Structures are given as structure tokens and as C-alpha cells.
Amino acid sequence: MTARERKRDPHRCGACGTQFDVTYFDDRKGSRDVGSGLVEVPCPSCGRPRSVALPIGAEKTMIVEVDEAEADEGGGG
């Protein structure tokens, strides 16, 4: 049994600028390319959907995590 490979794709919300990672399991087996599709991932901060290209089937295991490495606390008014 082999461990499933977890992929991580960094993204940035174009609306609020929040950086977040989309992680998922790539269930593609062998070298056969099943293609990829666009999945609408809601921004974890503002909820605005963002189109992300994922391998077919990967959206079932998709997890969205906010990247808090660079928190920007600007004085927004």
C-alpha cells in the first residue's frame, strides 16, 4: 500500500488579497492523464469564488487553508 500523495497549490484572492493554500489528494493512477477541471473554490476570508484547476476527482478531497504566514494588518478604513 502506498501513501496517497497530497498536493498543495498556493492561491491568492483577487478581491481581498488573502493568501490561501488549496490542498488535495491526487488520485490519478499511473501515467494516464484523466485531465483537469475548473473548480470554484470560495475564498476562506471573503467567500468570493475563485476558479482553480484541479485534476478530475481531486475536488472531493480538497481542503482550503488560509496561509497566515504573512498577515497584513493594515489600517483599513
Q: Is 40 in the site for Zn ion (CB under 5 A)?
A: no
- Cα–Cα distance between 37 and 53 in angstroms, integer? 5
Q: Is 43 in the site for Zn ion (CB under 5 A)?
A: yes
Residues 70 and 38 sit within 8 Å (Cβ to Cβ) = no
Q: Is 18 in the site for Zn ion (CB under 5 A)?
A: yes
- Displacement of CA 49 from its chain's centroid (Å): 11
Is the CB of 6 or the CB of 12 nearer to Zn ion? 12
The nearest distance, CB 57 to Zn ion, in angstroms, is 26
Residues that bind Zn ion (CB under 5 A): 13, 15-16, 18, 43, 45-46, 48
